[in-house]
Structure 1
Amino acid sequence: MTPSSRLSGLRDHGPIARRALVARAAGLDPAVLGAFEPTDGLTLSQADHMVENVVGLIGIPVGIATNFRIDGVDRLVPMATEEPSVVAAASNAARMARQTGGFVTSSTGEVMTAQVQVLDAVDPEGTRLRLLEARDELLALADAQDPLLVSLGGGAVDITARTLPTRTGVHVILHLHVDVRDAMGANAVNTMAEALAPRIAEIAGARTLLRILTNKADRRLTRARALFSADALGGAQVVADIEAASAFAEADAYRAATHNKGIMNGISAVVLATGNDTRAVEAGCHSHAARDGGYSALSRFERNADGDLVGTLEVPLAVGLVGGATRAHPTARAAVQLLGVDTARQLAATIAAVGLAQNLAACRALAAEGIQRGHMTLHARTVAASAGAASHEIAAVAARIVADRRIRVEYAREVLDELRGAHS
């Protein structure tokens, strides 16, 4: 069976039935997704081995984004998020992109960078050149720290060095660039940097201080592109308005901060669901947004010659499939199996596509109807639950507070009391 991400009407079922439908669509035994059941997911004992001073767990809803076709492959995408409308919005944007072929991605590879800071160099520029002259020696020393990575086709690929004026003097900064293959890579590059530091100090005739990776992973970029037809978006005026909204975010840091937050709504949800490092990815993306000296939008939306909308996104994505919570967390393992990705590059492609889809959905909502209409309609269910509505009462309470345009907990309580009084 060829997996399909087109699951119309998934929202009409309950969570257990949805899980079965998703497993069938992905060609998986439903038992594979058993870790999504709270009682069968991460245990307190497992959590106790993951971080310090464990006292419990916190649950985050995992929804499935549908309709995604990425580089010609259908993928059902697990998204861990507490924010209403995110999963629905991404699925809707993916449905529109699907009509014109889906998302196309490319990447620069899986290269991560570690920095070694050199202090007190008498001749900073001479030190920089001596370090570059020792390139082959330093790369060999780095590779010796991780023969398994080298055997898999990865390992140290290059060094660069620069002088950096600071308020404490001129530092020399060496960058070690490492192909980490299907790992996120932090442990590998940190181990190599620490091993290189003594030799770097000898060459420099100075001392080293910090030796650690940078989350500005600008040699690990992933790009996503999609075409959205004007008809699917709502017409030529909506296309023009989305383009204008995009231009606003490109030019203005205040708008860009919220524009990029919308992108991260999608990106962080998939990163979290797959057990990857959300903080590392978020830091990398926001640093990329400021790469030209000012903070700007990570995406672009432009009209093409036919009047349709082309969306593009470029972000650094340091994610992996081996090590860390991706392997230790049973729910993360189930999420990766559901996605059906075999490499870190495929995972990054999926994450970038979801980020672009989420962004398009938000821009369209802003341009066409205002963000609150769809968002607050979905948020109403959360408000109803917060007001004390039982599962069989939530839909009725949510519908009423939306209809009355009073989506607040105190009003939901009034509606709930009224409904219960009518049935007593």
Structure 2
Amino acid sequence: MARTSRLSGLRNHTIEERRAIVADALGAPDALAQLVDGGLDEARADRMIEHVVGQIGIPLGVATNFLVNGREVLVPMATEEPSVVAAASNVARMARERGGFTTSSTAPIMQAQIHVVEVADAHGAKLRILEQRDELMRLADEQDPRLVELGGGVRDLIVRIVERGGRRHLVAHLLVDVRDAMGANAVNTMAEAIAPRVAELAGGRPLLRILTNKADLRLSRARVTVPAEMLGGAEVVENMILGAQLAEDDPYRAATHNKGIMNGITAVVLATGNDTRAVEAGAHSHAARDGHYGSLSHFERDAAGDLVATLELPLAVGLVGGATKSHPAAQAAVAMTEVTTAQELAELICAVGLSQNVAAVRALAAEGIQQGHMALHARNVAVAAGAEGDEIEAVAARLVEQRAVRADVAERELAAIRGKA
């Protein structure tokens, strides 16, 4: 376990110094070696996807202060958006006063769908398939004996009749415990294997045979209590709760509220080489699970007046397979977290998403989102205007002071600074 995640003042050090500080906290001198240049050479990139012509770099930062289930954790976050890493770290610092984050999760169950068409008697077909449930489950398990050896494998088979707009679909679902894998390849292979037999039993033709990213049986949960005084007092807490309630009731607000959650979640998912699109699809489908798109998180006040924030969402991430194993930088990022199971990684990611969410809602309820966000964004604008070295901070400071973080203002202020040189 990391000696501590309280690395105060990390932002004031050079990149090289930060690497040394983080490595020392982990007790592993070479822990971040693969992150120096992104850890991916052209030959490896060419093996990962098709038609490779280059690479694109995304900044990778370290979120500090996280205490999750009593464990000190340093969290890798890959994102291009300013303020995300700092905001998550800041709320994690506040949360330490009440013990940090508490997390839990369900078993890593993924589902594959076998879609059968041209079925005459859907209800009869459903029962015929279920009558052979054990046979079909055995056939599916035979496709991945290694997974079964590790304690995973098929847990159930269900059949759904989906009716909408005068159309009827027969869909069988394989429920598979995929252990420490994200699980797409495992469940897809199983679905392919049993599809002919399922269709034979149904008296139809197999069509789609693929996992669903609506991973609502693979849930992660996080809970945190933040002292009211650290957030700015009782009025700020009240405003945060009112703002969160709007996100529960209004899809327009919910879309941005949930995007803030995903700012934290996607950054860790990307850093660890996991599938950002699958996680995002699962999260947003979960937000609309009741037929109304709303907030993924909930904000309340406890008996002491402190903020209690909770988050539950599907998180299909893995430690084996895919880029998590083939990308050296992703391997280094996973190692930084010191997690030992995919469930533990998912729970950590959920905690980061909640921390980011609390930070964003607090900013909205207090000083406004732009003050902190634009202060960090000002540096990007200064660089885009051509500022170099010490000019960057000087131009950024002028933009923030004028409350005008714009390209034209940056160009004007840069010219003024150079004119005095």
TM-score by length of 2: 0.98
Tell me the distance in 2 between the aligned counterparts of 1:409 and 1:2. Answer: 41
Q: Does residue 77 of structure 1 match 2:59? A: no
Q: Are the equivalent residues in 2 in contact too, given 1:158–1:176 (CA < 8 A)? A: yes
Tell me the distance in 2 between the aligned counterparts of 1:218 and 1:104. Answer: 20
Instruction: Encode CA deviations 1:9-28: one digit per residue, 9 max, x unaligned.
Output: 00000111111111111121
Partner of 2:36 in structure 1? 37
Partner of 1:171 in structure 2? 169
Deviation for aligned residue 1:160: 0.9
Deviation for aligned residue 1:2: 4.9
Q: Are the equivalent residues in 1 in contact too, given 2:2–2:74 (CA < 8 A)? A: no
Tell me the distance in 2 between the aligned counterparts of 1:3 and 1:413. Answer: 45
What is the correspondence of 1:55-66 to structure 2 with a 5 Å cutoff?
55-66=53-64
Tell me the distance in 1 between the aligned counterparts of 2:131 and 2:389. Answer: 68
Deviation for aligned residue 1:32: 2.7
Deviation for aligned residue 1:397: 1.2
What is the identity, as a one-letter code, of the residue corresponding to 2:8? S
Tell me the distance in 2 between the aligned counterparts of 1:302 and 1:60. Answer: 35
Question: Per the alignment, in what secondary structure is the counterpart of residue 99 of structure 1?
Answer: helix
Q: Does residue 27 of structure 1 match 2:22? A: no
Tell me the distance in 2 between the aligned counterparts of 1:267 and 1:169. Answer: 37
Q: Does residue 3 of structure 1 match 2:40? A: no
Q: Are the equivalent residues in 1 in contact too, given 2:5–2:65 (CA < 8 A)? A: yes
Instruction: Encode CA deviations 1:11-67: one digit per residue, 9 max, x unaligned.
Output: 0001111111111111212x23111112x6111111000000000000000111000
What is the correspondence of 1:321-400 to structure 2 with a 5 Å cutoff?
321-400=319-398
Percentage identity across paired residues of the two chains: 63
Q: Are the equivalent residues in 1 in contact too, given 2:35–2:329 (CA < 8 A)? A: yes
Question: Per the alignment, in what secondary structure is the counterpart of residue 377 of structure 2?
Answer: helix
Which shifted more, 326-335 or 161-170? Answer: 161-170
Equivalent in 301, 304, 307 of residue 305 of structure 2: 307
Tell me the distance in 1 between the aligned counterparts of 2:224 and 2:162. Answer: 39
Q: Are the equivalent residues in 1 in contact too, given 2:2–2:73 (CA < 8 A)? A: no
Q: Are the equivalent residues in 1 in contact too, given 2:215–2:314 (CA < 8 A)? A: yes
Partner of 2:119 in structure 1? 121
Q: Are the equivalent residues in 2 in contact too, given 1:118–1:171 (CA < 8 A)? A: yes
Partner of 1:47 in structure 2? 45
Tell me the distance in 2 between the aligned counterparts of 1:188 and 1:391. Answer: 50
Tell me the distance in 1 between the aligned counterparts of 2:167 and 2:409. Answer: 61
Tell me the distance in 2 between the aligned counterparts of 1:152 and 1:322. Answer: 13
Deviation for aligned residue 1:168: 7.1
Question: Per the alignment, in what secondary structure is the counterpart of residue 149 of structure 1?
Answer: helix
What is the identity, as a one-letter code, of the residue corresponding to 1:6? R
Tell me the distance in 2 between the aligned counterparts of 1:167 and 1:303. Answer: 43
Tell me the distance in 2 between the aligned counterparts of 1:189 and 1:41. Answer: 30
Gaps spanning 5+ residues in structure 1: where? Answer: none
Partner of 1:185 in structure 2? 183
Tell me the distance in 2 between the aligned counterparts of 1:18 and 1:310. Answer: 32
Q: Are the equivalent residues in 1 in contact too, given 2:159–2:173 (CA < 8 A)? A: yes
Gaps spanning 5+ residues in structure 2: where? Answer: none
Question: Per the alignment, in what secondary structure is the counterpart of residue 179 of structure 2?
Answer: coil
CA RMSD of aligned residues (A): 1.1
Tell me the distance in 2 between the aligned counterparts of 1:117 and 1:155. Answer: 21
Deviation for aligned residue 1:391: 2.7
Tell me the distance in 2 between the aligned counterparts of 1:310 and 1:167. Answer: 42
Tell me the distance in 2 between the aligned counterparts of 1:143 and 1:391. Answer: 59
Q: Are the equivalent residues in 2 in contact too, given 1:184–1:321 (CA < 8 A)? A: yes
What is the identity, as a one-letter code, of the residue corresponding to 2:19? R
Which shifted more, 146-155 or 124-133? Answer: 124-133
Deviation for aligned residue 1:80: 0.4
Question: Per the alignment, in what secondary structure is the counterpart of residue 393 of structure 1?
Answer: helix
Partner of 1:249 in structure 2? 247
Instruction: Encode CA deviations 1:401-420: one digit per residue, 9 max, x unaligned.
Output: 11121211121122112212
Tell me the distance in 1 between the aligned counterparts of 2:226 and 2:93. Answer: 10
TM-score by length of 1: 0.98
